[in-house]
Structure 1
């Protein structure tokens, strides 16, 4: 019997990406598709590329609409996911693709989000050490942010192998779809074409504490992260350039070996051959993270670079991947490993 999956927030970019992936999932039936202000609108008017679902009408998000599903994927504004999870009951797999349940530290949540911390769910980045065991059989999963996905995959092998000092510097570029589908003047084509700009500068971006959390857990000690995001003139993709001071005695060979070991059996992380560097275009439409690493011996720093599609591996792909693990399905079902080029 097919697994019936609902998508809450199907009118947005990430929700539509989830539907694209679910349509190719051999074990899934796409159930309810809900939205807020777009409820009552045929999906094809918002996402004409989703041809098999184009005539389906978006429904309001209500317990009645969501009843009878095996899994629910949520894309909701901050503070709205808990009520949905409570309404559908504990036996339904709920995967929150927003930020509500990502952080363990209440003080960090309150500082960056300005509201009360309501709890923490199992974290849906399967490639981090120990994550798959936590996700198996879970009925609640919190999906990482797109930047923390790219940064954590780029840096965690260095910390897992005790090669890096507990401070990291990250400069990352994201496509405009990371800001959502709502109209915003600074995202108009005339504002973004041919231009790059930083934002959230000075440690204020909300994804910063998530990076700190992930890397600190792997390192076994507090790790600081100086994070500067930039907006790039492209619709999709993240390129994260990450560095950390190398510990004494670290060599290029030991860095390469640590990364090769960390990703040796991973389906959705590809360590590129030495000398080849990640490009966002090569990750387009795929659930694969492309990673490269080197040691800057003069500066004494490990340099790790990752490229992902922010809507796939950075969000909806992680959701489907974590759903598969939670339900006991093969992890790769419905998930493309191959990008689209040129």
Structure 2
């Protein structure tokens, strides 16, 4: 025991000689081997861990899962106490077993009679657990549902590669404030036959058939399963190829979608920020032509309400109710969004 304590003391002395506190004014900066290390806010244009992880397809959960599967790390198994010597030792996976299940290796003696319902498998127990849903009530009959882990990570990457290479992407010219500009993202449109043509900003995209892209039909089926009662018959795909690609403030309030459209958005690839803001109200005072100073004060008091969602790889976001009537949404430029994002927006066009 004394030898162990002596070794620990020697190690502490050696460590103290290698790692010393820095004289920097920041309490979070330290010195290792004579080189200053520490934490700080990222500079403009620097890549953060989240974007690096997305670009390189790294996730700490996958790392820990592989580490456990390789048997390099196993949870400790403790010997049962002497008072429970007549019972079998618990296996490392005992925490995953339901308490009501009978033991596969019962101990000696008569087996106790199970209580009502004990040992039975509940209905739907073998199904995949429901992904976590985050519901945001915007008020006034508007609602947003966010499912961060809608799709398994590896399957989402396979779909990303397929969509990136197989979809006939185009970057059309559109009309914005009377000027012709190139749309700052790639796009493609898929819809049922016989629907009203989609038209926005002076552009009418060609409607491809679902039969041309079976993988999109598979994704549509998964979205319908996650949103019971929904019925989407059209799909607008967008591809943001870097930090300069974006979509400005707008609302999908075209008459062909009806007064309360439901729009489901699936994200693949680079995570991007998705913003929602309340549409500015047309006040009677502005119509009456009040003074400029009074109008500015009123606008300052009634600043639009805003929400932000970080849409990650494999996530699903749904806008419901009067969201398109009362709110606008955007995907702004972000210097750190250096890789490609593909976005699928499912909609229902009225017959």
Length-normalised TM-score, structure 2: 0.26
Bigger helix share: 1
Identify which of structures 1 and 2 has the higher relative contact order when contacts are C-alpha pairs closer than 8 Å and 6+ apart.
2
Task: Tell me which structure has the larger Cα radius of gyration.
Answer: 2
